[in-house]
Structure 1
């Protein structure tokens, strides 16, 4: 539930001033003091100062520093890309933009965040960065602002607002005397999170009772002599814990294993058991939400719940005390392994739906990879998961993250087996999509060497055919892909093999000067897509149909098919295919007399390619379309006119550009 923002007027003004004076400002302070809320509020009031972009990246649940640039790029609306120097690519994209990047909760990633921020600030002179964490980054030019507890007046106002207490007209009486409330807030050290948790108790208990219990709770929760981040916050956590029913307490502890949000199905699978049967999980979830320990979020895939980081930490401590840590983490791992396999099974016919659901679980999946690869007994499960999710890495704009997980899993489990073979050919496929042909070839050679029985021969032939296409060896590509298609037809491998081969083979036939055979292959492939409910491969084939129109000089047909392919590609956030479609649309509109629109769209496509780290000239497959469009547009517009419109396209808003490319009205 969204809550109002109370107080902090002085702090907001101070941070805003610092941001005008310094390009890097870090808000520090203990957990629960309100660093994130303050940063959010400052951002809300600073929108007009950053017309070229403002992004908020939450990092509390990110554990792998290698995925930091990927996570930032994802929030910025840039899909996965193959460049190994992702930070430099982000910096180049930001370029001269007057923009703000907010990195929230960074204390566990200090070195990685400091390195990334330094790279971005050096390359993007108009970028400003606002960071929150429990310690400074130590980066060059950093200005640190220590977020203080709330002033007493703000603390009391927050307590009243959250507890639903009316403000007394004389400032002393009412449902809670001002002096008593002020004393309670002082006892809680005026920490916002502690006050919000205490407010739940205040709905049923007077402040005098809470004041008496404050010292008792402090002693109870810190009696082990262990380190304490802050007694008053732990005390407030303890009050909330005591307010919970036994079922809610147990659920709170078990929910701490989730890396981010979760749905009811996940909570029931992971957290049910023993004294908490599955049928009581929903009731306990409702109770935790009512006590402000869970936050409810509306998501396109349905209702999701999440815990604040500090609440999760408290639950994790209790889970460890209960001795259930290993068992519950194991169920968390098992749930997401099961979910991935179910998604792979149900991928036909429900692709966009499953893509949205799995993407919402990215942080939980990352945690599963981390757990599997940290335990030798589960390294094979990590390898299985990396291969099972091939459709995410290949179809859904997540190639860089997929490559990372595949390579890590292959190193962790070098033993032979079907899971390793699948991970090898999937990794080769992803590397080829990224333009890393040498790595793709290396993985294919490994796959052949480790597969004496030829159990994945069709997939090896398929990727080899793709490599031949990228090298413009069209005749060899067609030969390899036709062999792969025959193998997949015999083995029944449709989704990951037969249908992608249809699109690639048709592209090779077109490039080899055999358009009639290409159209026949596409028609057969699209009929299979209809049977199997395959949307992604259909989009690929729609693009190749557009390419056929290009080859035959039929601009209107190419435009129609390219727009159909683009609409589908955007549903999967497949920006590589999207860029190719935009370039094809640029050619078509240029052929139809709109050279200015063609030049502008080429700039749009180039910006997408740059964000993906792809070669500026395009791949061996797509380069001819781009080159022909460029030549024709320059002929009509002149070099200077083309350069101006191309540059405007590069700097345009992607959403507006997509509407234009799809032929929609732009308001």
Structure 2
């Protein structure tokens, strides 16, 4: 799987460079693409990722670090790219290494220059722990660690630069044709065939004739006084950026530099909210965006249904520099944060209603911008209360999508400042307590609750006390004191009802108390609380909490022996949770459906569902052992399923459930798909490329013949053969054919 940037224009040329880079990565475990901005490092790196992903099942993870301002969340960003949600506020090297394991894999870290020290430390640690991992980085400076192979990315060849210019020029003006190739070659040579500079020049053919473009850009590079770069190639890029900037209208210039405060793209609405004012009216933002798209300063992501716009990092950095020159970066970073603060507060007010899925879909592409907003807010005592006011995003979005550890990180940093009103601090402490328990950081949860308890006593405010009772219900329950948890929950519900106007909190606490009473083996009282939650949520069209209550009622039904009703309720919960992509909810519903399948003697389905649930708990860093009630039920479900299958079949089917795409297993759980026979666990560890090579080895092909057939290096073939011999547990190539036949591969 490759996670990274989506490029809207085709990759052109660079055939020799791509082949050389592939050889370098095959021969060295750490390769750094080195060069100035605009030279093409990023595109070349992602091109390699695409090539390695084609025809191979080895993991290929890519992370754009340009969006990160804080090296402390580097591990979280990598974990997110790996599909390994952050399970603590600081994702450890050990957690990443455990996920990578002994697999052939590539990790691509793009734009490392502003986080060089952090990248160097993390990459070194990963390479030491994961013997088959290879790392590719791109940076304007080397990491300078042992074993690093630096690959200086050259400018394009003359022919490649000409092809790029013609392609981008005809995209900008379809009727344009290169009537004079010599002028095009001169244009490319004037900017040292630096890809970004070539692209920027090509977009101007709709406004200027090529000879006019040549005269103007040559003048700028020669004068040099209007550019900041010291190296000739960097001066070429800066000259093109400066010229593009000069060609913009005043409103387009203002939007360019202000929009550079965004990370990971933005919508028109976001630009209107964060960039308007002082010379750029909100009503003029759409026109300015259109102008910047025409000039290739912005690109619209056609694959994003919300219509997001992105800047190349070097163009974004140019905007940053202009903000610095104007002394306005602080102003517009605050405006950026204020936009997301307003959005977060609207989200909190609107959450307990029918638009929950729309909100979750809206937040998903905004994770990088939320990071920037939190980073700005926790940077000073004066701004920290804003992070506390954004805490609802941590509770509902980050925690449910596997980013609980990162959310806890931001809340801890905000609370470390002794600012904020009692209510702001109490709200943040309640959510931090909940998330700390969720990611199994029980000591942190206890410390945070102690602070909240003292604050409630000091404050005398009823709502602050209610928030403390809510947190106490969670913390005491996770400490296995369910009696205290249930008591605090009841007090909290009563107080919230008396205060009034806190429907979301009251409903949530009804659900939590229902779960606590279930842990205490009191299913009747548990059901009363689940229904109390539904009484508050269903009339409002709310689905998030309602589906959790359906899960709880389904579990109660299963324990009461009504398996059909349990399956009906759990499937309704799972359908909603899959819609939300709520991993915690999907895991809980899948667990109960597995136990129900075992009760109906559907051993194959039960084992596959248990496997998927296991993979979710691993991914979100949640320990079933920390929830004794669920742990006991799971142990019984596993025992019942094992009794229906042979030991080998059970292990293979659980392994299948862990490895299948989640959507497929959800379909099995919902009764939409029939579970297929399990493939041998050994066979499932072979990647698509390894299976291909194994068949060629079985046919008697030599490594050289395989390399020529697959158009890869002999060294790469040798590595694959070594891996497949180990996985197939055979000593010689001659044994491969018999082993493949035995496994049915």
Q: Give the TM-score, by structure 1 length.
A: 0.92
Partner residue in 1 for 2:241: 237
How is 1:165-204 mapped onto 2 (pairs within 5 angstroms)?
175-204=178-207
SS at match of 1:116: helix
Matched, 1:42 2:48: yes
Match of 1:557 among 562, 565, 585: 565
Q: Which runs of 5+ in 1 are unaligned?
A: 167-172
Q: Provide the aligned length of Structure 1 versus Structure 2.
A: 662
- Give 1:353's aligned residue: 358
Q: Residue 621 of structure 1 aligns to a residue in which SS?
A: helix
Q: Does 1:114 align with 2:120?
A: yes
Structure 2 counterparts to residues 357-436 of structure 1, below 5 A: 357-386=362-391, 389-414=394-419, 417-436=422-441
Distance 2:571 2:145 in 1: 45
CA distance, structure 1, for counterparts of residue 510 and residue 321 of structure 2: 53
Residues 32 and 194 in structure 1, CA contact (< 8 A), matched pair in contact too:
yes
* CA deviation after TM superposition for structure 1 residue 614, in Å: 2.6
Q: Which residue of 456, 460, 475 maps to 1:467? A: 475
Q: Distance in 2 between matches of 1:415 and 1:286?
A: 41
* Contact residue 493 and residue 510 of structure 2 kept, 8 A: yes
After superposing the two structures, state which structure 1 stretch, 498-507 or 510-519, moved more: 510-519
Aligned-pair CA distance for 1:13: 0.8
Match of 1:444 in 2: 449
Q: Aligned equivalents of 2:82 and 2:559: distance in 1?
A: 36
**Which deviates more from structure 2 when the two are superposed, residues 282-291 or residues 319-328?**
319-328
Structure 1 residue 600 displacement after superposition: 2.8
Distance 1:82 1:314, change over 3 A: closer
What's the CA shift for 1:522? Answer: 1.8
- Report if aligned partners of 2:229, 2:238 keep a CA contact under 8 Å in 1: no
- Checking the alignment, whether the CA contact within 8 Å between 1:396 and 1:572 is kept in structure 2 is no
Shift of 1:597: 2.6
Q: Does 1:511 align with 2:496?
A: no
Structure 2 counterpart SS, 1:593: coil
SS in 1 for 2:106: strand
Per-residue deviation, 1:415? 5.9
Distance 1:637 1:99, change over 3 A: same
Which whole-Å CA distance do the structure 2 matches of 1:113 and 1:654 have between them? 31
Structure 1 residues 622 and 86, CA, compared in 2 at 3 Å: closer, same or farther?
A: farther
After TM superposition, list the pairs within 5 Å mapping 1:121-140 onto structure 2. Answer: 121-140=127-146
Map 1:145-160 onto structure 2 (within 5 A): 145-160=151-166
CA distance in 1, matches of 2:572, 2:108: 36
* CA offset digits 1:292-342 (Å, max 9, x no partner): 110101465611111111111112222333343333233222212111111
Describe the shift of the 1:664–1:473 C-alpha distance in structure 2 as closer, same or farther (beyond 3 A).
same
C-alpha separation in 1, matches of 2:497 and 2:510: 11
Q: Measure how far apart 1:416 and its partner are.
A: 5.4
Of the candidates 329, 339, 344, which is equivalent to residue 340 of structure 1? 344
The aligned residue for residue 668 of structure 2 is 660
1:170 aligns to what? none
Q: Could you tell me how far apart the structure 1 residues matched to 2:672 and 2:119 are?
A: 40
The aligned residue for residue 314 of structure 1 is 318
Within 5 A, what are the aligned runs for 1:246-285?
A: 246-285=250-289
Query: Judging changes above 3 Å, is the alpha-carbon distance between structure 1 residues 426 and 496 closer, same or farther for their aligned structure 2 residues?
Result: farther
The 8 Å contact of residues 466 and 477 in structure 1, kept in 2 or not, is answered as yes
CA RMSD across the alignment: 2.7
Indicate the larger mover: 425-434 or 191-200: 425-434
Taking structure 1 as reference, are residues 62 and 283 closer, same or farther at Cα in structure 2, changes over 3 Å only?
A: same
Moved more, 613-622 or 334-343: 613-622
* Partner Cα distance (1:632, 1:83) in 2: 37
Q: More displaced, 333-342 or 209-218? A: 209-218
Residue 82 of structure 1 contacts residue 614 of structure 1 at CA under 8 Å; is this kept in 2?
A: no
Q: Are 2:27 and 1:27 aligned? A: no
Of residues 289, 292, 296, the one that matches 1:288 is: 292
Q: How many angstroms does 1:128 deviate by?
A: 3.0
Question: For the structure 1 residues 115 and 561, does the alpha-carbon distance in structure 2 shift closer, same or farther, using more than 3 Å as the test?
Answer: farther
> Retained in 1: the 8 A contact 2:88–2:439?
yes
Contact 1:26/1:130, CA 8 A, preserved across alignment: yes
Which residue in 2 is equivalent to 1:169? none
Residues 25 and 559 from structure 1, CA distance in 2 versus in 1: closer, same or farther, beyond 3 angstroms? farther
2:532 — aligned with what? 524
Q: Distance in 2 between matches of 1:399 and 1:442?
A: 17
> Counterpart in 2 of 1:208?
211
Q: Confirm or deny that 1:222 pairs with 2:225.
A: yes
Cα displacement (A) at 1:159:
0.9
Q: Deviations over 1:623-651 (max 9, x none)?
A: 02210011112223244443333333333
Q: Do the aligned residues in 2 keep the contact of 1:222 with 1:231 (CA within 8 Å)?
A: no
Give secondary structure in 1 for the equivalent of 2:32: strand
* 1:305 and 2:309 correspond: yes
- The equivalent of 1:547 in structure 2 is 555
CA distance in 2, matches of 1:309, 1:400: 27
| Structure-1 residue corresponding to 2:606 | 598
CA distance in 2, matches of 1:377, 1:437: 29
Which sits farther off after the overlay, 238-247 or 469-478?
469-478
Using the TM superposition, name which of 584-593 and 102-111 deviates more.
102-111
Whether the 8 Å contact between 2:551 and 2:589 is mirrored in structure 1 is: yes
